[in-house]
Structure 1
Amino acid sequence: MSVGIVMLVHTALDRAEQVARHWSVAGCPVVIHVDSNVRRSTYNDFVRALSDIETVKFCARHRCDWGAWGLVAGSQSASELMLSEFPEVRHVYLSSGSCVPLRPVQELIDYLAARPRTDFIESATTADVPWTVGGLSDERFTLRFPFSWKKQRYLFDRYVEFQRFLGLKRKIPPGIVPHMGSQWWCLTRQTLSAILQDPERETYDTYFRRVWIPDESYFQSLARLYSTNIESRSLTLSKFDFQGKPHIFYDDHLQLLRRSDCFVARKFWPRADKLYRAFLSDPDGAVKMAEPNPAKIDRIFAKAVERRTRGRPGLFMQSRFPNDGWENGVTCGRYSVFQGFSDVFEDFETWLAKATGTQVHGHLFHPAHAEYADGQKVINGAMQDSAASRDYNPIAFLANLVWNTRGERQCFQLGPDDETAPMWFLSRDPNAQISVISGAWSVPLFKSNCNFAELRSEAARLQKLEADQLDVLRSPYTKARIRIWTMAEFIEAPMEPLQSIIDEMGQHSLRRLSEAPKMADLTGFGQFLQNLKNQGMHPYLMGDFPVSPPGMNQQNPPRKPYLVQ
């Protein structure tokens, strides 16, 4: 019996019993520490269940709260009992009730027998540790932590701030260089006994009792004083997510665990019957003698962390949705937004759909309802045209629209009246292609038959709304592809901007447009704008239009070609 197993048990005592029997059948003595939070009656039943095995012992119980001293105290008590009751043990392997051997126990025994003076314990200085979570690195060794981080978080944070404010610092015992690492170690009898029997143990215990998460630093620091040969790694496969919480292994992780070549893994789900059956009762299915290599599956865990923290572009989930900047791309694909084009051109949506083969909607953020392509009431993803449901969360509405129609580029119209449109969202989305003809909203007013006083008031309102929209689009934080033309600038040579827009959409091979949309009749439009000026409203977003057509004795100015071959 060269390897002794110390088990720290908190929950799922039936599974812990199953694992303890597996260790003992292989010839390893087992000492179990049961959290004192476990009810006495449950503990007594657990002891009776294992009373038929002479090499299974139970040590004094301690209260084990997360990050508290009780975990170290339990490890100390169990280790002391192991060393006194089983003098033939050469290595002591610390595990938990949710740890399960992945390989035949005899392979672990042989592996450690070939390395009789090697201590396997992850031990690194705080400067070399990248995995600390919670904002405390060196301070965990220089401040006091009498309050529980999980149960008394407010007191924990305020007491840390209080110590920082007063500049209070604890003195590290002489000779101790703080190290950190996984709490799951395998130490030689010589090193472990030296730690437990050190004349200065009371001093060390008093110091580490107020260190934050001492189970990750007590043995890791003291082993450096006594070990002659440390391999700074754990033989237990233990993976943590980006929040510092351990990954839990389920039945569908069976092949993944076998690929790791590790001797032991935690943390197994108590109901993972397939895993327990495979590793505790099917030794032929275990891997053969090989060097433990958890790096073989690190890529999969890294991808899992990335999927949880970043996810797929344009797809939100509960863990990322409330966190600004965690969306990994606000939409999943490229889309185009046109403002003013449907006012300047007749049947612009029909022409654009024909020219590009995309799905072209009307005003998705129209005050009355979402104007889906071809007058649809419901589109992909059971998205209705209801303005109420759309306006409840306009950002989610647009992100869902692009996600539900992925694979097909979406185009829609925008106008100053579409006040619920998420302009900041659009401007910061790298997937958005936004094209604006400023002042084009005045064309429908020009063609209307309303009283001029009403037209003037409406023109002032729309100009103010569009000016606010343009301010957003011109923000230095903009990431969308944005082009803005004044109306006068655009109609002077419309084909060039249209061609550049279509080319950038990239729906077809690059070729010149053979058909142009029909432009609205703007005869008298310049005089309309002058009338607005005469009434005290300054329409500046349209650019410079001639007030009246050329006189009878004047030659018409040469017009740039509208159609191209």
Structure 2
Amino acid sequence: MTVGFIMMCHEALDRASQVARYWSDRGCPIVVHVDARVARRDYDALRSTLESRANIVFSDRFKCEWGRWSLVQATQAAAGLMLDRFPKVNHVFLASGSCLPLRPVEDLIGYLDARPATDFIESATTEDVPWTKGGLDHERFTLRFPFSWKRQRYLFDGYVRLQRRVGYRRRIPSGIVPHMGSQWWCLTRDTLSQILSHPRRAQFDRYFKRVWIPDESYFQSLVRLVSENVESRSLTLSKFDFQGKPHVFYDDHLQLLRRSDCFVARKIWPRAERLYTAFLSPNAQQGNRAEPNPGKIDRIFAKAVERRRYGRPGLYMTSRFPRKNHENGLTCARYTVFEGFGDLFEDFPDWLKRTTGLRAHGHLFAPERVGFADGLTVFAGALSDSPKLRDYNPEMFLTNLIWNTRGERQAFLYGPRDTVRIGSFFPRDPNADILVISGAWAVPLFKSQRPFNEIRKEAARLQKIENAHLAYLRNSWTKARVQVWTMADFVESPVEPLQSIIEDVAVTRTNQVNEAPRMVDLTGFGQFLQSLRNEGMHPYLMGDFPADPRPESEAPRPRKPYVAR
């Protein structure tokens, strides 16, 4: 017994000829169908190279189109010719002109001889498959599809809508349970003969002629009617992307294809010289008894599909610029935003760098310039400290900074004086750690020598901005990790929150705070807040600072850096 191959060819006929000769040399009968749309000159050239071989014949040509009945007609004609001309064939293997054998034919013959009555065809009901596209799963069997999806898309969609509107439903022939699966199968002679000579074949053909993509359902459905031993899988390695388009295999997939242990692979790039040389060379392959297992490489293809659909987290490209709220991660790595710390502590970025090992920037979104760490004017990825360039798209400025420094955690200061637009970006980012001392923006105003009327107006403006920002941070859809202290609570006991911050964000191993940042002298700050209230501005974000100054005898000693033991 032997296996016969049906080859459906429509392009790269030189490669199809090469594969046909390989199978022919090993005693396998072959029926070749060439799409009628292929130029007569190319068809004649293919015939001239193959027709001298007694085990290769050509079937009648049909003009084939994706998703149309003509593909089934061509397969029926080729299968009938195979059964008539080669009586010793026990299994018929359907392949395309872009298929490539991955294992010796002797492996395939031995495998099929051990299973002489088994049909290998992917065959599953519409409820059991996840790959149907365009919302047409069971409807592809109950509606009519006289128009081409590729050439007459407008008529195709309009006719589907019309049938849905009027409630039209086709009657499925009795005894037929619609099944779907890969077009590439390997059926026994007996099963294929029963399908082609079935007494109801004319009825089945009329029905499937108006089914959408019948080449993926005709044999898949009828095999369930006539066969008692169906293995619902294909012996051909064929992978598809999320759009239902086949993956193309190139030279660098050589080891991947070998690992699959499959007998045949589709779809091979015509110029993959290395693949054709490796798999068609007489001495390149060794016998292999392994069971075909495309699942070995499924994980790699799943990751490839995911990468194509979503890209890499935090990487923005002109080819895949995402819609808002549909990004695969706003940024690529964790970073920390300190709000109010730079106003309350005089040397906070330097202290943070020494204590935690973070790359500690100043105010990256300050209106006058970008406050890169160490006073740099150009940072990683040629990011400029120009506020004009940054403010053209501040979100992309930040994502570029995080992407260009991946592997090194970034931290920076932020406040209501900074570019306001970026303030709605942090809360949506799961990579953001946002630590806020609310109301600390009032400290620079307290230390300024500006007229008090200007201070009151500026304080009202900044408080309004920070209050709106805090509302973003407290929203139910916030994905960032957020912690907020009022300034009064933080100043009352600063060591404990500083210790928790260090433990959470430190890159270097730190057990406790051994050196504290230098806090701004806040003597008279409570009275300053009371003066703002007296002028009609209510500073509520700072917490409860005492308004009355302490008596001279109760005045605290000058504040020194404190150490926690």
Q: Which one-letter code corresponds to 1:367 in the other structure? A: P
Distance 1:419 1:321 in 2: 23
Residue 563 of structure 2: aligned partner:
564
Q: TM-score scaled to structure 1, two decimals?
A: 0.92
Aligned to 1:258: 258
What letter matches 1:11 in structure 2?
E
Q: Name the structure 1 match of 2:108.
A: 108
Structure 1 residue aligned with 2:412: 412
Q: Quick check: 106-115 or 317-326, which moved more?
A: 317-326
| Partner residue in 2 for 1:507 | 507
Match for residue 220 of structure 2?
A: 220
Contact 1:493–1:561 (8 Å) recurs in 2: no
| Matching residue's letter, 2:167 | G
Q: Using the TM superposition, give the Cα deviation of residue 121 of structure 1 relative to its aligned residue in structure 2, in angstroms.
A: 1.1
Superposed displacement of residue 312, structure 1: 4.6
Aligned counterparts of 1:387 and 1:559: Cα–Cα separation in 2: 38
CA RMSD of aligned residues (A): 2.6
Q: Structure 1 stretch 323-332 or stretch 500-509: which is displaced more?
A: 323-332
The alignment covers a number of residue pairs equal to 564
* Corresponding residue of 1:537: 537
Distance 1:382 1:562, change over 3 A: closer
Q: Please identify, of 35-44 and 433-442, the stretch whose mean Cα deviation from structure 2 is larger.
A: 35-44
* Distance in 2 of aligned mates of 1:282 and 1:326: 51
> What is the identity, as a one-letter code, of the residue corresponding to 1:104?
P
Per-residue CA distance 1:410-466 (angstroms, 9 max, x = gap): 110111122355334311222211111112222222222223332222222222211
- In the TM superposition, residue 336 of structure 1 has moved relative to its aligned partner by 1.0
Q: Which residue of 1 aligns with 2:204?
A: 204
2:202 & 2:344 partners in 1: Cα distance?
Answer: 85
CA contact (8 A) 1:15 1:270 kept: yes
Answer whether contact 2:236 2:266 (CA < 8 A) is retained.
yes
3-state secondary structure, aligned to 1:275: helix
Q: Which sections of structure 1, spanning at least 5 residues, go unmatched?
A: none
What residue identity is the alignment partner of 2:341?
F
> C-alpha displacement at 1:560, in angstroms?
11
Q: Kindly state the Cα deviation for residue 342 of structure 1 after the two structures are TM-superposed.
A: 0.9
1:214-253 to structure 2, matched below 5 A, reads 214-253=214-253
Deviation digits for residues 478-523 of structure 1 (CA, Å, limit 9, x no counterpart): 1222111222222222222222111111324342312222222223
The 2-side partners of 1:198 and 1:528 are apart by 97
| Equivalent position of 1:473 in the other structure | 473
Q: Which residue of 1 aligns with 2:436?
A: 436
Give the corresponding residue for 1:369.
369
Secondary structure at the aligned position of 1:411 is classed as strand
Deviations 1:155-192 (A, max 9, x none): 44444333333322211111100111111011122211
Contact kept, 8 Å, 1:103 with 1:283, in 2: the verdict is: no
Structure 2 CA distance for aligned equivalents of residues 365 and 166 of structure 1: 59
- The alpha-carbon distance between structure 1 residues 386 and 140, as it changes in their structure 2 partners (threshold 3 A), is farther
Does the alignment pair 1:300 with 2:300? yes
Please tell me whether residue 454 in structure 1 is matched to residue 450 in structure 2: no
Structure 1 pair 26–364 and aligned structure 2 pair: CA distance change class (3 A): same
Question: What's the secondary structure of 2:199's corresponding residue?
Answer: coil
Post-superposition CA distance 1:370-389 (Å, at most 9, x none): 21101112222232223344
- Shift in alpha-carbon separation, 1:557–1:345, aligned structure 2, 3 A: closer
* 261 and 404 in structure 1: CA distance in 2 versus 1, 3 angstrom threshold: same
Post-superposition shift, 1:122? Answer: 1.3
Instruction: Give the gaps of 5 or more residues in structure 2.
Output: none
CA distance in 1, matches of 2:511, 2:29: 79
Q: 1:258 to 1:492 in 2, by over 3 A?
A: same
Are the equivalent residues in 2 in contact too, given 1:30–1:57 (CA < 8 A)?
yes
In the alignment, which residue of structure 2 is the partner of 1:42?
42
- Change over 3 Å in CA distance of 1:142–1:558 after alignment to 2: farther
Instruction: Give yes or no for contact 2:517–2:561 (8 Å, CA) kept in 1.
Output: no
Sequence identity, in percent?
Answer: 63
Relative to structure 1, the CA distance from residue 465 to residue 171 in structure 2 (aligned partners, 3 Å threshold; closer, same or farther) is same
SS of the residue aligned with 1:422?
A: helix
Contact 1:308 1:319 (C-alpha < 8 Å) held by counterparts: no
SS in 1 for 2:449: coil
SS where residue 122 of structure 2 aligns? coil
Any idea what the Cα deviations from partners look like across 1:212-239, whole Å, max 9, x if unmatched?
Answer: 2211111000011112322222111112
